[in-house]
Structure 1
Amino acid sequence: MTGEAVALELRPAKLPSRALAVLLDLAVAMLVYIAVATVLVMSTASLDDAAQVALSIASFLLVLVGGPIAVETLSHGRSLGKMACGLRVVRDDGGPIRFRHALMRGALGVVEILLTFGVIACIASLVSARGRRLGDVFAGTLVVRERVPVGQTRFVPPPPPWLAGGFAALDLSAVPDGLWLAVRQYLTRMQQLDPQVSWAMAERLAADLAARTGAPAPQGVPPAAYLAAVVQERQAREARKAFGGGAPGGYVPPVAQPPAPGAYYQPQPQPPVVHPVQGGTPAPAPAVPPVPPAGGTAPDDRPATGFAPPA
């Protein structure tokens, strides 16, 4: 898990799509194997039976075992069947596979798929929580979906501008991944919830997040805005880690739609701006008198005491 800076929302492939991809790969491999075997039989007709059997075994291993291994290694986990079904083989951490991963998958695939007609692979995929067969378990890989419908993709809305970058000193190392996932799911769906339910959920998540970070949420900040600002700070840190410090501190991932007006509620009034004076003591900024209208009379701005100057 690399965080949300890279947006690695990997979805494990289900058994039907994986089975369809395997069938397509086997169909292509069998066609190639039949063509290679036909050429070998025609070109080695003068050899004895032992030599022909050895060539048949070699062609079987080369086409049906070595072929998928070479294809997955060169294409980084995308065979013809997986490309057709929108799947890819990746490591457990989301990175591309290498030769050793493809070799382990191909070697165990001979037993799981070819020799037992896929029975062992189907049973292992049904038992596994992420649909992995034995080759994936021993190789440390996972088959994921690459093509995800656009309508199902949800993005975390950015925090209000007045909170951006305000949690740079917050310690996020003790926050578990489950809490991050809960916060992210809330932020992507908060506009669909009832306002009172949304506020209660935001307060509960903000309290859990503040307990994990060891710093209470700022006073006067809406809980939903606090959650969005902390998530943005985590994204910025993950971006700096992923890109070697090249990403700016105000990094914000792309969003599908901006948050609706009032989604985070309005911020509290800010304190008046003060300006330093000679001597080092701050003084409030001078009030700007109201500009009288064109008629020459000042607007009715009398204080609440009811005092009115004499006519």
Structure 2
Amino acid sequence: MNDHRKPLGQRVLTIRTPENIELTYALAGPGSRAAAYLVDVFAMMIIGQIFVNLLISVVTALLSGLGPGSQTWVAAIGGLVAFSLYNGYFILFEWLWNGQTPGKRLLHVRVIRQGGYALSAFDTLLRNLLRVIDFLPFFYGVGLVSMLLTRDSQRLGDLVAGTLVVYQDPVETESLLPVLPAASTAEPPLPASALAAVPGEVVELVGIYLRSREEMTPRPRQEIAVELADLIHEASGLDPQAGQSVESFLTSIVRQSEQAPPSSTPPPVEAELLS
């Protein structure tokens, strides 16, 4: 049975148009955006592997008679193609798919302009060319800080382009309870106040991890589990109990979050439509 709900703790943005029409959007947080990005990275790896290998084969054949210096040209062209593919992937998909990429579509989020308008080609070009700055110093460090400090969870590219990332529809989240291991009688109940402090996006990201962990190799599986536990600790102070594995702790977080009474909807954030 599906649990139809929006992620806990999400903020709601209400935009009032000059015609006095209210447009209401739920803002996507860092967790949902990170999950969408990981899906897109996987898709780009597949596409990139095909195109880069094909291009390198063609260029190598064309430059094979030019001596040792041809290897430098091959590397330079390969780097240029990789850069173009990375930026072109997001730019083309967001422009042609009305603010969505495959990852965003899977996570039910999309990019819009402030004011509720659809993206233009220039909007998506501007926000994505600044992605390289948001990525600094590693894995969106600058972008994450920007999202945490801004009211509407915007990275630098969003701020410059005047864009927002929102949920397209109320998110339909499939409950994990039927597939999780049965709760042990020794599983400690988590403090309700601390559990409520865990952002809904983080719980959602943990759920994605629990669904896909069996397909991971041991080392990445353990590293991702530890990173998720660190996110939970930073938000709520919760840690695995003595003798409890990290994955068991993550399972407890999801199970007890789904069993917790629904939280009240946060008050909307009012924003006037820019003329």
Q: Is 2:61 the partner of 1:39?
A: no
For residue 38 of structure 1, give the secondary structure of its aligned residue in structure 2: helix
The counterpart of 2:132, out of the listed 103, 110, 114, is: 110
What letter corresponds to residue 125 of structure 2 in structure 1?
Answer: L
After superposition, residues 199-278 of structure 1 pair within 5 angstroms as none
The counterpart of 2:71, out of the listed 42, 45, 49, is: 49
Shift of 1:38: 1.1
Would the aligned equivalents of 1:65 and 1:110 in 2 still touch at CA under 8 Å?
A: no
RMSD of aligned alpha carbons: 2.1
Query: What is the aligned partner in structure 2 of residue 72 from structure 1?
Result: 94
Identity %: 27
Provide Cα deviations, 1:177-236, integer angstroms capped at 9, x if missing partner.
Answer: xxxxxxxxxxxxxxxxxxxxxxxxxxxxxxxxxxxxxxxxxxxxxxxxxxxxxxxxxxxx
CA distance in 1, matches of 2:96, 2:50: 23
CA distance in 2, matches of 1:26, 1:43: 25
Shift of 1:70: 1.1
The counterpart of 1:127, out of the listed 149, 170, 173, is: 149
Residue 149 to residue 78, structure 1, CA distance change in 2 (3 Å): closer
The counterpart of 1:99, out of the listed 102, 113, 121, is: 121
Shift of 1:7: 4.8
Would the aligned equivalents of 1:124 and 1:131 in 2 still touch at CA under 8 Å?
A: yes
Gaps of 5+ in 1: 151-311
Query: What is the aligned partner in structure 2 of residue 25 from structure 1?
Result: 40
Query: What is the aligned partner in structure 2 of residue 11 from structure 1?
Result: 26
The structure 1 segments of at least 4 consecutive aligned residues displaced by more than 3 Å after TM superposition are: 2-7
Would the aligned equivalents of 1:30 and 1:64 in 2 still touch at CA under 8 Å?
A: no
CA distance in 1, matches of 2:46, 2:106: 17
Provide Cα deviations, 1:14-49, integer angstroms capped at 9, x if missing partner.
Answer: 111011011111111122112111112222223212
- The structure that has the greater radius of gyration is 1
For residue 153 of structure 2, give the secondary structure of its aligned residue in structure 1: coil
Shift of 1:6: 5.1
Query: What is the aligned partner in structure 2 of residue 230 from structure 1?
Result: none
Would the aligned equivalents of 2:87 and 2:129 in 1 still touch at CA under 8 Å?
A: yes
The counterpart of 1:144, out of the listed 163, 166, 176, is: 166
CA distance in 2, matches of 1:61, 1:45: 19
What letter corresponds to residue 32 of structure 1 in structure 2?
Answer: I
Query: Going by fraction, where is helix more abundant, 1 or 2?
Result: 2
Provide Cα deviations, 1:235-273, integer angstroms capped at 9, x if missing partner.
Answer: xxxxxxxxxxxxxxxxxxxxxxxxxxxxxxxxxxxxxxx
Q: Is 2:16 the partner of 1:2?
A: yes
What letter corresponds to residue 102 of structure 2 in structure 1?
Answer: L
CA distance in 1, matches of 2:26, 2:146: 18
Aligned residues: 150
Shift of 1:114: 7.3
For residue 115 of structure 2, give the secondary structure of its aligned residue in structure 1: coil
Query: What is the aligned partner in structure 1 of residue 273 from structure 2?
Result: none
Residue 133 to residue 95, structure 1, CA distance change in 2 (3 Å): same
What letter corresponds to residue 38 of structure 1 in structure 2?
Answer: N
For residue 10 of structure 1, give the secondary structure of its aligned residue in structure 2: strand
What letter corresponds to residue 76 of structure 1 in structure 2?
Answer: N
Residue 89 to residue 15, structure 1, CA distance change in 2 (3 Å): same
For residue 9 of structure 1, give the secondary structure of its aligned residue in structure 2: strand
Query: What is the aligned partner in structure 1 of residue 104 from structure 2?
Result: 82
Q: Is 2:65 the partner of 1:61?
A: no
After superposition, residues 163-182 of structure 1 pair within 5 angstroms as none
CA distance in 2, matches of 1:22, 1:114: 15
Query: Going by fraction, where is strand more abundant, 1 or 2?
Result: 2
Would the aligned equivalents of 2:91 and 2:128 in 1 still touch at CA under 8 Å?
A: yes
Q: Give TM-score, length-normalised by structure 1.
A: 0.45
